[in-house]
Amino acid sequence: MAKQPQESVTVTLPAVPLGYCKLGTQVAGHTFEASNAAAIGLLQDAGEGKVFKPLGKPECGEREINFYESLAAAIAATSATGNDLNDRGDSNLTDLATLAALAPHVPRYYGQQKLFVNQRQHTFLKLEDLTHGMSKPCVMDVKVGRRTWDPLSSAHKRAIEEQKYVICKQQLGLCLPGFQVYTPQLVRQGRDYGKALDVAGFRQALALFFKSSHSSSETVLREVLRQLCGIRAWFKRQRLLHFYASSLLICYDYEQLHHVKQSATHLTNGHQLEQRPAPPVDQWVHVRCIDFAHIFPAKDAEPDQNYMFGLQSLIDIVEYMLQR
Ligand SMILES: Nc1ncnc2c1ncn2[C@@H]1O[C@H](COP(=O)(O)OP(=O)(O)OP(=O)(O)O)[C@@H](O)[C@H]1O
Ligand SMILES: O=P(O)(O)O[C@@H]1[C@H](O)[C@H](O)[C@@H](OP(=O)(O)O)[C@H](OP(=O)(O)O)[C@H]1O
């Protein structure tokens, strides 16, 4: 039988549902790959302000869903009982109140959503887009903790994790899998850049990200410090969970730096300026805990020293930048 001529079809991956696209501001984590239909990254919807995170490996997805669902249940229980769960002497209720207190430091969760991507159905977590409304989003993903392997990791996974970002991880309890910043040109760096950094390089990357030479960087740094201290206060209080390989996502809008500068000029020389005043800083600077794929119950109700060590290093670096 004569062979039919084959039509060559070029499929551009990812194939995503109408109204969705790749999350343009994703700086780290699992991403789409042009020639691998199984590689799935984060999606965003058209202007709705939500991101969609794929569940990934089954055990990771299950832990992350459990985390967000438990947090949602704790928030519901706390609001139903008028925020007085701590005073009732019931340890379960106290735990719910403690967990609920993490909510301001985590992206809002809107449940699960199934979407067809690359011709297969995947489950996604629907989350608040921390960069929503930013015209020039600067985004940094900082992974926290000297130890980034969880208690169920194989010896192989443990070895892989211990060989990455070695200097920063061991000395600071931090690593830098990716960031993007406007300078004003958009500069993006990924995991290879982060893996090559020593402590001085890590500090320089933060100086670049926060534009420590820019006159408005103090406003951003003070707000980042305030939010980091809020997260530290929660970790000091809680004995429920240990976070492995979890990140802090730091986002701010480069565009707003000019408004801050103009408001400052307005105040100092008394002239009327046409420009709008800057919105409140917590509307365009966000620091949130993300990535709960390796979250585990705290063993023997111990505090999460591994996370707190890294978090304190980041706070020390930000405080140092503010003093200069
Ligand atoms: N709520 C959010 N809003 C905006 N961007 C987000 C949000 N969550 C995640 N991102 C973006 O996606 C990236 C990856 O997120 P996340 O760490 O949750 O994914 P992951 O694939 O589990 O990562 P890893 O490979 O480290 O396990 C972040 O660095 C950030 O750029
Ligand atoms: O920092 P890198 O070099 O990007 O390394 C990745 C990072 O450690 C992720 O946390 C991990 O995903 P999990 O959290 O899902 O384990 C991923 O494992 P994977 O390649 O097995 O997915 C690693 O490749």
The atom of ligand 1 lying closest to the CA of 245 is 26
- Tokens representing 263 are 């408001």
User: 59-85 burial by CB neighbour count: b if 16+ within 10 A, else e?
Assistant: ebbebbbebbebbbebbebbeeeeeeb
- Report the separation in Å between the CA atom of 27 and the middle of ligand 1, taken as the mean of its atom positions: 7
Evaluate whether 191 touches 98 at the Cβ level (below 8 Å): no
Which ligand is in closest contact with the Cα of 161? 2
Which ligand is in closest contact with the Cα of 168? 2
- The torsion of the CA quartet 123, 128, 131, 134, rounded to 10 degrees, works out to 130
Q: What is the pTM of this model?
A: 0.92
pLDDT at 47: 79
pLDDT at 2: 46
The CA distance from 252 to 279, in Å, is 12
- Report the separation in Å between the CA atom of 78 and the middle of ligand 2, taken as the mean of its atom positions: 34
- Report residues whose beta carbon is within 6 angstroms of any ligand 2 atom: 56-57, 60, 164, 177, 191, 245, 293-294
Q: Phi, psi at residue 299, to the nearest 5°?
A: -75, 135
Which ligand is in closest contact with the Cα of 249? 1
- Tokens representing 261 are 């500068």
- End-to-end distance of the chain based on CA atoms, in angstroms? 79
Ligand 1 pocket residue status of 29, Cβ below 6 Å: yes
pLDDT at 9: 52
Mean pLDDT for each 10-residue chunk of the chain (324 residues)? 50 86 97 94 93 96 98 93 62 93 98 96 98 96 98 98 97 98 95 98 97 83 98 98 98 89 54 66 97 97 98 98 91
Strand pairing partners for 113?
124
Long-range contacts of 73-80 (CB under 8 A, 24+ apart): 74/99, 74/100, 74/103, 75/100, 75/103
pLDDT at 56: 87
pLDDT at 90: 78
CA 247 to chain centre: 5
The atom of ligand 1 lying closest to the CA of 290 is 18
**Probe target for ligand 2 pocket from 33, 53, 57, 158, with the most ligand atoms within 8 Å of CB:** 57
- Tokens representing 1 are 């039988």
pLDDT at 129: 98
The CA distance from 315 to 236, in Å, is 14
Q: Which domains does the chain have, with CATH numbers?
A: 12-129 (no CATH), 133-324 (3.30.470.160)
Evaluate whether 62 touches 150 at the Cβ level (below 8 Å): no
The CA distance from 96 to 247, in Å, is 23
pLDDT at 1: 43
- Tokens representing 212 are 């420590």
pLDDT at 271: 54
Nearest CA to ligand 1 atom 26: 29
pLDDT at 83: 54
ipTM above 0.90, yes or no: yes
Which ligand is in closest contact with the Cα of 29? 1
DSSP annotation string for 201-265: HHHHHHHHHHTTTSTTHHHHHHHHHHHHHHHHHHHHH--SEEESSEEEEEEEEHHHHHHHHHHHH
pLDDT at 3: 47
Q: How many helices (H) and strands (E) does the chain have?
A: 9, 12
Nearest CA to ligand 1 atom 15: 29
